[in-house]
Structure 1
Amino acid sequence: MSAIAVPARRPVLADAVLPRATWLTDLALVLGGAAFVALLAQVTIPLPIVPITGQTLAVIVVGASLGARRGAAALVTYLLAGLAGAPVFAGLTGSIAAVATPSFGFILGFIPAAFVAGAFAERSWDRRSWKAFLGFVAASIVPFLLGVPYMAMILNVVLGAQYDLAGILQVGVTPFILGGLVKAAIAAVLIPLAWRGVRAVDERA
């Protein structure tokens, strides 16, 4: 019986910048990642049901920079902070009542999205822009897998609206396609550029 080869985890940006990280460093990175998501959450374009925000860009950058586990931990921290009342969600909001809003499923989806972005980065997909873009688009899709069904449940079951499938897609998917591609492209430029900066510093050292 032959063993199945598992690709080795490769360093992500945080590992390259802080090669001798301790658990305290990891904690600081997780908290910093959560704060970064909270900051970009305030960049919003209002829409009737779910606003367009900078959160997805932040989720991708945090996941790719910190790696799968730390990236997901940062988004768990962000989620718990918001539910505890910290004003970290879009519009400087935050409370347990967020679970009853149509957009909450997308926030839940940010956790696996950061993990996916980090998993691609751990396989060095973040070193070249075209591979980074493909990986980041995949990560950008993940929040919709949770967010759209959750939104449909809140709208139709909790709020008593009458959205059919076409209506749900119209308010929960279509408005975000172009923005999602743009944000994935921005991250696919920023992360490889950061890697080039790290390599340039290493070469001068």
Structure 2
Amino acid sequence: MSASAVSPRSALVLADLVPGARVRDIALTLAGTAFITIAGYIAIPLPFTPVPLSLATFAVLLTGASLGPLRGSASALLYLALGVIGVPLFAGGNAGWAFSSFGYIVGYVVAALLVGTLARRRADRSVLSTLGLAGLGSLAIYACGVPWLAAFAGVDIPTAIGLGVVPFLIGDAIKIVAMAGLLPATWRLIDRTRRD
């Protein structure tokens, strides 16, 4: 979406500040997919859960907020599609769909769309609203990941929450706080640069 195509009621996201239109949108979508992939490779398997600790969730939230709902969700959807057809993009070099954490990857698309929509409404401009934006994005990922984990592992939802949410809460809090510092600071820097 070009900056000129943004409606007056919606705000710019960071990617809208990059000149160009279609070529820019394709390049940014591919860059978002690459960012999610690289972050997903930074993964630590945990012995007490089938879900690895990964930086992909942070990358998805940042991609959604920076690129906006269409480019952000397209980046996550491309990541998902390439992995499903066999490209080893997922944490640990996984591909396909038949593994315990695949539901979280589906949640990446939902989270990028949600976070991008909120960023388009300027929720990435202050620390408090960015905390909410990132928190809701994390919840969207869990809302897709936990039921899949429960079904795949053959456990009930409370057990799936114990395996697929609880071990990651501290890491998620760190990622959310990092976003709440990074995005508003970037917007302040851009606003200062525009005034100079």
Judge same fold: TM > 0.5, yes or no: yes
How far apart are the structure 2 equivalents of 1:172 and 1:138? 17
In the TM superposition, what is the alpha-carbon distance from 1:83 to its structure 2 partner? Answer: 1.9
How far apart are the structure 2 equivalents of 1:193 and 1:21? 24
- How many positions carry a matched residue from both structures? 188
Which residue of structure 1 aligns with residue 4 of structure 2? none
Over the matched positions of the two proteins, sequence identity in percent amounts to 35
Q: Which runs of 4+ in 1 moved over 4 A?
A: none
2:127–2:184 CA contact under 8 A, matched in 1: yes
After TM superposition, list the pairs within 5 Å mapping 1:1-80 onto structure 2.
8-16=9-17, 18=18, 20-47=19-46, 48-80=49-81
After TM superposition, list the pairs within 5 Å mapping 1:165-204 onto structure 2.
165-204=157-196
Structure 1 runs not aligned, ≥5 long: 1-5, 157-162
How far apart are the structure 2 equivalents of 1:84 and 1:155? 22
How far apart are the structure 2 equivalents of 1:11 and 1:72? 16
Q: 1:116 aligns with which of 114, 117, 136?
A: 114
Which residue of structure 1 aligns with residue 131 of structure 2? 133
- What's the Cα RMSD here? 1.6
1:133–1:184 CA contact under 8 A, matched in 2: yes
2:65–2:124 CA contact under 8 A, matched in 1: yes
In the TM superposition, what is the alpha-carbon distance from 1:139 to its structure 2 partner? Answer: 0.8
SS in 2 for 1:11: coil
Letter in 2 for 1:54: L
Letter in 1 for 2:90: F
TM-score of the two chains, using structure 2 as the length reference: 0.90
TM-score of the two chains, using structure 1 as the length reference: 0.86
